[in-house]
Structures are given as C-alpha cells and as structure tokens.
Structure 1
Amino acid sequence: MRFGRAPGAKPLLGHFLELRRRPLDFLGSLPEHGDLVEIRLGPRPAYMLCHPELAHRVLTDFRGFDRTGPVYDRVRLAMGNGLATAPYRDHRRQRLVMQPAFRHEHLRGYVGVMRQEVAATMAGWGDGDVVDMVAAMFELTTGVALKSLFSARIGAREADELRAAFDVFLRGIYTRAALPAAGRLPTPANRRYEKALARWRGQVERLIAEYGRPGADDPGGDRAGYQGGGQDSGRGGDLMSRLLAARDEDGRAMPPEELSDQVAVLLLAGGETTSAAVVWAMHLLAGHPGVRAALHAEVDTVLGGRTAGWEHLPRLDLTGRVVKEALRLYPPAWVTVRTAVRETSLAGRTLPTGSMVLFSPYVLHRRGDFHAGPDEFDPDRWLDGAGPGAGHRGAYLPFGAGATKCLGQEFGEAEATVVLASVAARWELTPVGGPVAPSARAVLVPKAYPVRLARRGASAAEASLDGGERHSA
C-alpha cells in the first residue's frame, strides 16, 4: 500500500475549489498518487482511501473509525441521530430495533405499494410529453417512501417543496464537508440552507403528528389507499406501524425524537437515492441502444405491457443487472466520511486520533485493476452472479459494508427494478437536453434529465389494465 499527497492545495482553501467545481474528476485523479492520499479541506488534512481493502477495513473497524467528528456533528444537527448518521454505539441499538420492519417477508407488500405508485405516475403521462425524469422519479420514489411509511400519498406541490428542500440541504451538507468553515459565514446560501432544513424537518414532524388521524392523508377520508397485498395490507402493514411497535432488547419503544430522526433518514434514502439510481439507469440505457433493445425485449416478454409487481421480479434479470451496473458507475452515496477515534495505521501511515478519513465508491468502482473496462456500461459483467471485483472486499460498495451497511438495500434494489422495468415496458425515452453531468452535492444525481416520451405499443386496454392495478395490487 502506498501513501501520497494530492498536489495543488491552496492556502486556507486547500482543495476546496476542486471539490466544489469538479469533485469527481479531482477524486478520480487521486489513485495515481497512492492508495491512501492526503488532501486538504481548508487548512485541515483529510485522508482519501483509494484502495478497496482500505475502504473495507475502515467501514468494518468500529474500534478504530466511527461516525463522529465535526462533519457528522453538522449532519446530525440537520438530519438528527438516525440510522444513517448515528455513531456505532447508537447505530447498533437502532438497527436491532428497525431491522424487523425490513425483513424479506415484508417486501412483497412494499412492492405492491411501488406498483401502485408507478402505475399512477405513468397514468399522468402522454405520448409526446417532455418530462424531467429527475423531478418525476423523485416525486415517484418519495411517494413510495411516504406510502410505505404512512400509508399516505404526497401531493405534487408537497413533493416539489420536499425536493427543493432536499436539493438545498444536500448541496449545503456537501459544502460544509468540503470546507467546514463555510457553514459559519452569513451568506445567502447559508440562509437558504437553514430555511430548507426548517421546511424539511417541519414536514417530517407534521407527517408524524398527523399519523393515525382519520382522513389525514386523504381529503375524502378514504384510508384504503394502502393496498400492499397479502398480510401486509392495511395500516398495520406500513413501516410506521412496525416502527411504533418495535422494541429494543430491554423492551423499550423508540422515543419520539428518535422516530422523527429515522423518518427523516428513510424519506431521504427512499426518495433521493433510489430516484438517482433509476435516472442514471435511464441515462445509461439511452446511450447504449443494444442494451436498451435487450431490456425492452425482456420487459415485453415478462410484463406484456403491465406494471411490474412482486411476481415479475425473479424474471427481470437484465433489468436488475442494469440497476446494479448503474449503481456501480453512479453510486448515489458517492463519498463517505469516518473519523479515527484512536491513533491507527493505514498504508504505512500513522493517523492521529481525530483524523478525517474519506472514501468514494465512485472512485473505487472505476478502478481498472478491480473492474474490467471500468468506465464502460456493461450489465453482463454481473452474469456470473459474483459481480465485478469478486474476491476484493470493498470493490463494490454502493450500500456500504459491515454493520452500517444500508438496511434498505433489498427495498431499494427492488424499487429501482420495478420502476425501470415498468417505464421501459410502456415508454421509449429520448433525451432532449444537453449533456448530462452529476451535481456536486451529497447525493450523485443530475440536476435535470428531460426526455420526450413515446408510447411503446400500448393500447387503450393496457392503459385500462394499469388503472385496475392501482386498485387491486
């Protein structure tokens, strides 16, 4: 393992400008300087893990590295002490409480919600419409998250407000991580950040407060909207009911403030990260007509114009591989931070207690010594089931690793597959904007992705079928 330093640090700013203006290019250049590379966040050193084995070690060594330090302090002020932000001591207890809600046997009901929401979304589209898929997929996946959590639907205006708040928040969190002092300045951007944060937290608190109030999610008072199917149907089948019923090892329920923190995390993960994966998959398919034609053939055979459901998932093999490959090339959680909680050694370098350690799945997923043709979109690399980088721990980390690995991985992969297959079965998407580039923010997603819709052999009967699925899924 080699240690190195990144060149080009500026006085006071360090590498902030590179991280702000061209973060992916900058991070992608670091492996040439070593497996562990020192960069500067302002005047402070930080250490980028550029080798999969180092990333895996840091993610699984909770005695040496934890989710503590100034960056996580600021993130917790915004998102609370939820599953995605809690230090190991709290995370272990929280995970034990929340894990039952994400058991495999509940997934069938959640997929029923996904099917309903996808059908409802596509029912509002028309042949020749131009749709920004970043906004549309966020509204869809946030709707799935809310329906799964609260048996509730989110209105278009609420979704727009939530997305706008997320957008400002995610940009602000990224800036504060790259240059910690930036958050203390009385700038218009910081004022927008504080307002967005207040809107987001306020919306979460309102949703929890209204939970269980008859008719709160439906102006008509009809609460039969959650129809996940089977044993998960009804109010007892949503995530909130399961979280409210959950107990820790001592038989204690989740305190209200912690419940709010977990809901905030689930809304962010269920809305922003899953929609980002779907949009990137659409973008990649648009540039690879051979793969797109094969995927269309698969969904035509499996779905026959229907919206994807639980029974279709085992047969949507290529669609699932496209999702995995999109997550490899554009992992939504593209940079992760840990803090050394004791003096430790990495790549022959001694790191003092308090050192900030970062790694980027985006960089690790594109290393040519672990992934053949690393920048190529090739879903067939997943055919053998082992996946790319087989035998190398840390070579594929879109959901993290170790005890803090994303609890909703199965949920997210199933949702992305259902959405992508259902849209591909009904619509041809033709991009109408300029070049697609990721935004420099905490979640890797394009700022916009407008496409023109063309109906793929759909008939009035098929449109009617989707309407029926919304009531019977």
Structure 2
Amino acid sequence: MTPAKSSAPPERPWTTGTAPGSVPLLGHTLELWRRPLQFLASLPAHGDLVEVRLGPSRAYLACHPELVRQVLLNPRVFDKGGVFDKARQLLGNSLSVSRGEDHRYQRRMIQPAFHTPKIAAYTAAVADDTRAAIGSWEPGRTLDISDTMHALLMRVAARTLFSTGIDEATIDEARHCLRIVSDGIYKRTMAPLGIMEKLPTPGNRRYDRANARLRQIVDEMIRERRRSGADHGDLLSTLLRAEHPETGKGLDDGEVLDQVVTFLVAGSETTASTLAFVFHLLGAHPEVEKRVHAEIDEILEGRSPTFEDLPSLEYTRGVITESLRLYPPSWMAMRVTAAETELGGRTVPAGTMILYSAQALHHNPELFPDPERFDPERWLGDRAKEVERGALLPFGAGSHKCIGDVLALTETALIVATIASRWRLRPVPGTTLRPEPKATLEPGPLPMVCEPR
C-alpha cells in the first residue's frame, strides 16, 4: 500500500493498492466472474483506492465511503457510461441511465410522482395485493419465497404503475419477459467486448423477443391511457401529466415508455429480492423474528398495517436496513471519468472506469464490526449514529440516487408487516442461501414452510 495525500479530508492520508491475483490478458475479470462478492469484499484490505484490471484496462475501486461520495456527488467529472450504455437496450434513455442536463431535466419532471402523498396513495395497492397473495397460503405448504416475492412485487409494480387495465395473464407475461431481459443485460454487461451479443444465438434471440414484447405491453398501456384521458392517480397518470416547472413541457410517449420500463425493473426485481432475504434472515434468526412479531402485534393490535403505522415499526425497519446492508441490491456500479482528475491522491486519466461497491462497503469490518453478523440493532438509537457517513449505500447517493428509494422501503416494510402479522416462514432443513450477483443481487431459490401464527 502506498500512502498518498489528498485534500478531502486533509487530515487523512489515503492509501492505495493493487488487487492481487491478476492474470495476463484477463486481469481480474475471472475473479469478478467466478466469485464477485467475495472478491469485492476482500479489496478494502488493500487500500482506500484499489487498482483492478478488467482485461487490458485499468480501473479503480473506491473502497472508502468518502471516496465513494466524491465519485457520486460529482457527476460532471464521474459520468455514467460503460454498463449504463448496455442497460439502454432495456431502459432506453430513462432517468436511471441518462446523464447531465438530460438527467436533471427528467428528475425534475418525475420527482412529484414520488412525493410523500403519492407514496401514501400507492400503498393501498401494496396492502391489497399482499393480503390477496397470502390469502391462498396453507399451513405446512412449502413456497419458494424468492419466486413468491417476485410474483407479488410484479403485481404490486403493475398496480402502482397502471392501477387498472392490466390483467393477470399480461402481468405474468411481463414478469417472464423481464426476467429474461434482466438476465441478458447482466451477461452483456459482464462481456465488455460486445461480441457475443451480436451473434444469432438462441439466448440472444430469446432476449430480443422478450425485450420487444415487454416494451410492446407497456406501449399499449400508454396509448390506451392517452386515448381515455383518465387520471387513475397511479404512476402512469402522474407521468403522462408531468410538466417541467419552468418550460411546461411534458413527456412524450417514448419518454414515458422508458420511465415505466425502468420502474417495472426497479420496482419489482430489487424489492422482491430484498423481501426474500428478509424472510430468510427472520427464519434463520428466531430471536429476531420474535421481536418483529412482538412489535407488530403491539402496534397493529390485530388489524392490517397502513402507511401511517410504518414509523412506529422501528425494529422491523432495522431488520430491513440490516438485510440491505448484508445483501445490497445494487452490489456494484461504476462511473467513467469525463476528464483527468484526482481521487484518493492518485491522478486518474479521462476515460478511466471507477468502480464502487455496496458489497465492499457493507462487509468492511472497519465500517461495520463483525460484518457478517445479522444485527438489526446496528440501526437503533445511538448505535445508528455511530455508522460512518456514506458507509451504507443500498440506493446510491447524490443527484443519481434512486428516485424510488422511499417507495421501495415503504413497500418492503408494509409487506413484511402484513405477512409477519399472520405467518411464520420456516426454512426447509438443508437449504443454503447462495446469493446470485446478476443485474441486481438475487437470493436464488429459497424454499420455506408456511406456519400460521
């Protein structure tokens, strides 16, 4: 490790290092492909800023929270690129992949859809869909909680976006397409040369068909809503009526299409995986589950939870936050330097890939003592104040922070409270959690047995 001076903060000398295990031509690509979570979590031990090789290219992983903040809070220097360009195949020029003034313009247009009164209104659909889903559960029945949560969250996302006019068969078809496309985007991202995606393989043809069909489903919903002119109070209505606060200009159908597809991905894939991880952790830690049940019983007194109840469910929210720490949906992301700059005391040329990883931050023992331990009390009272600024990064930071973070946390807490008020979920003996790092971090199959409370 080589100490290097930095102006932020001036009292700290940054340390830089190089990731071990690079091989000729491939660099660390095989490590990132074979065991990405373990590899990333190991890198903070080598410095605050660690050089990695992606094939012939040099990249850097920002391992210290302040360096990550520097990257995320300065989008003019640390620009989106690389993997985000791959994601445009699915997400178009939506908020999650747009840059610069275009991103600022879109965010101002869309932000009202995520104001607190709107989020409170969306939760009615969340509660209804959750109660309907668990209404068919039976004592002793074994569920794949991962698949169950993905099915539920696809319905929740569809209802939040469209509220009416989309039937169960179309929702299931959209979910099927979304899984194919999401997996395809990840594979294309991990193949930076872009050769395989251009070949007419069965997998590429399946990807193209799923992508086209998903966008067709959404486009038909937008066109129908435009024709009817009805305001259903859902996200689609909000987007169709959005106007820039200065110019008064609205979004055209293509722009609305890109945003809706993005919200379907973010609103179903990431939240569903988080819920599956939460229920797995509760099942594996009965003492934590007991406290969650006690809190829910005390606050709800036998009724169904509402948006207004969520601030009182402090321990339950701590469980969710700790799950996000252990299993962050966005496990790795990147920026590209738009100009030569300094980071961690190193001069970094323009066009350099800068990686940052919630996985590396969240499992760093210098930031979180005993990082592999599931400990919801990290987020309660004075202990929560001890967490270093920027150490928890499940939704990003800065102007590109996930616009739906509050909605995602609200949905997660409401669904956990609704299910946990009626059911326990017990892991099937012999089940091993094997997180799958794809476009987002997924839990893989998680069979659990329903047990009524």
Q: Do the aligned partners of 1:35 and 1:347 also contact (CA within 8 Å) in 2?
A: yes
Structure 2: how far apart are the matches of 1:133 and 1:273? 14
Q: Which amino acid aligns with 1:88?
A: G
Q: Does 1:425 align with 2:421?
A: yes
Structure 1: how far apart are the matches of 2:33 and 2:327? 18
Structure 2 unaligned spans of 5+: 1-13
Structure 2: how far apart are the matches of 1:160 and 1:151? 16
Q: Do the aligned partners of 2:17 and 2:47 also contact (CA within 8 Å) in 1?
A: yes
Task: Pick from 360, 366, 371 the counterpart of residue 374 of structure 1.
Answer: 371
Structure 1 unaligned spans of 5+: 215-233, 457-473
Structure 2: how far apart are the matches of 1:161 and 1:280? 25
SS at match of 2:238: helix
Q: Which amino acid aligns with 2:241?
A: A
Q: Does 1:8 align with 2:5?
A: no
Q: Do the aligned partners of 2:327 and 2:441 also contact (CA within 8 Å) in 1?
A: yes
Task: Pick from 147, 156, 168 the counterpart of residue 144 of structure 1.
Answer: 156
Q: Does 1:412 align with 2:425?
A: no
Q: Which amino acid aligns with 2:218?
A: V
Q: Which amino acid aligns with 2:112?
A: P
Match of 1:295 in 2: 292
Further displaced range: 366-375 or 413-422: 366-375
Q: Which amino acid aligns with 1:53?
A: E
Give the percent of matched residue pairs that are identical in Structure 1 and Structure 2.
43
Deviation at 1:438, TM superposition (A): 1.0
Q: Do the aligned partners of 1:5 and 1:39 also contact (CA within 8 Å) in 2?
A: yes
Deviations 1:337-361 (A, max 9, x none): 1110001111222211111111111
Q: Do the aligned partners of 2:304 and 2:418 also contact (CA within 8 Å) in 1?
A: yes
Match of 2:5 in 1: none
Q: Which amino acid aligns with 1:313?
A: L
Structure 1: how far apart are the matches of 2:382 and 2:107? 28
Deviation at 1:389, TM superposition (A): 5.5
Q: Which amino acid aligns with 1:412?
A: A
Task: Pick from 386, 393, 410 the counterpart of residue 389 of structure 2.
Answer: 393
Q: Which amino acid aligns with 2:224?
A: E
Match of 2:241 in 1: 245
Q: Does 1:205 align with 2:219?
A: yes
Structure 1: how far apart are the matches of 2:325 and 2:129? 26
Q: For the structure 1 residues 273 and 36, does the alpha-carbon distance in structure 2 shift closer, same or farther, using more than 3 Å as the test? A: same
Q: Do the aligned partners of 2:431 and 2:447 also contact (CA within 8 Å) in 1?
A: no
Deviation at 1:14, TM superposition (A): 2.7
Task: Pick from 205, 210, 217 the counterpart of residue 196 of structure 1.
Answer: 210
Deviation at 1:13, TM superposition (A): 2.9
Deviation at 1:203, TM superposition (A): 2.6
Mapping of residues 15-164 of structure 1, within 5 Å: 15-68=28-81, 70-152=82-164, 157-164=169-176
Q: Do the aligned partners of 2:222 and 2:253 also contact (CA within 8 Å) in 1?
A: no
Q: For the structure 1 residues 22 and 48, does the alpha-carbon distance in structure 2 shift closer, same or farther, using more than 3 Å as the test? A: same
Q: Which amino acid aligns with 1:239?
A: L
Further displaced range: 435-444 or 302-311: 302-311
What is the aligned length? 435
Q: Which amino acid aligns with 1:279?
A: A
Q: Which amino acid aligns with 1:141?
A: L
Q: For the structure 1 residues 293 and 49, does the alpha-carbon distance in structure 2 shift closer, same or farther, using more than 3 Å as the test? A: same
Q: Which amino acid aligns with 2:66?
A: E
Further displaced range: 82-91 or 296-305: 296-305
Match of 1:469 in 2: none
Deviation at 1:413, TM superposition (A): 0.7
Deviation at 1:59, TM superposition (A): 0.3
Deviations 1:359-385 (A, max 9, x none): 111110121112222221111111127
Q: Do the aligned partners of 1:18 and 1:26 also contact (CA within 8 Å) in 2?
A: yes
Match of 1:439 in 2: 436
Structure 1: how far apart are the matches of 2:28 and 2:220? 40
Further displaced range: 86-95 or 365-374: 365-374
Q: Which amino acid aligns with 1:211?
A: R
Deviation at 1:159, TM superposition (A): 4.2
Q: Do the aligned partners of 2:33 and 2:190 also contact (CA within 8 Å) in 1?
A: yes
Structure 2: how far apart are the matches of 1:265 and 1:55? 24
Q: Do the aligned partners of 2:188 and 2:197 also contact (CA within 8 Å) in 1?
A: no
Deviation at 1:291, TM superposition (A): 0.6
Structure 2: how far apart are the matches of 1:99 and 1:199? 28
Q: Which amino acid aligns with 1:451?
A: M
Q: Does 1:352 align with 2:365?
A: no
Q: Do the aligned partners of 2:331 and 2:437 also contact (CA within 8 Å) in 1?
A: no
SS at match of 1:452: strand
Structure 2: how far apart are the matches of 1:337 and 1:153? 38
Q: Does 1:265 align with 2:277?
A: no
Task: Pick from 358, 362, 365 the counterpart of residue 365 of structure 1.
Answer: 362
Q: Which amino acid aligns with 1:3?
A: T
Match of 2:7 in 1: none
Structure 2: how far apart are the matches of 1:403 and 1:422? 33
Q: Which amino acid aligns with 2:321?
A: K
Q: Which amino acid aligns with 1:308?
A: P
Deviations 1:374-430 (A, max 9, x none): 22111111112773653x332111111111111111111111001011111111101
Match of 2:380 in 1: 383
Deviation at 1:333, TM superposition (A): 1.1
Match of 2:3 in 1: none
Q: Do the aligned partners of 1:22 and 1:440 also contact (CA within 8 Å) in 2?
A: no
Match of 1:170 in 2: 182
SS at match of 1:45: strand
Structure 2: how far apart are the matches of 1:153 and 1:370? 47
Structure 1: how far apart are the matches of 2:30 and 2:75? 32
Q: Do the aligned partners of 1:143 and 1:154 also contact (CA within 8 Å) in 2?
A: no
Further displaced range: 119-128 or 183-192: 183-192
Deviation at 1:95, TM superposition (A): 0.6
TM-score, normalisation: structure 1: 0.87
Q: Does 1:323 align with 2:326?
A: no
Deviations 1:128-155 (A, max 9, x none): 2211111211121221221111113765
Structure 1: how far apart are the matches of 2:286 and 2:323? 15
SS at match of 2:342: strand
Q: Which amino acid aligns with 2:204?
A: N
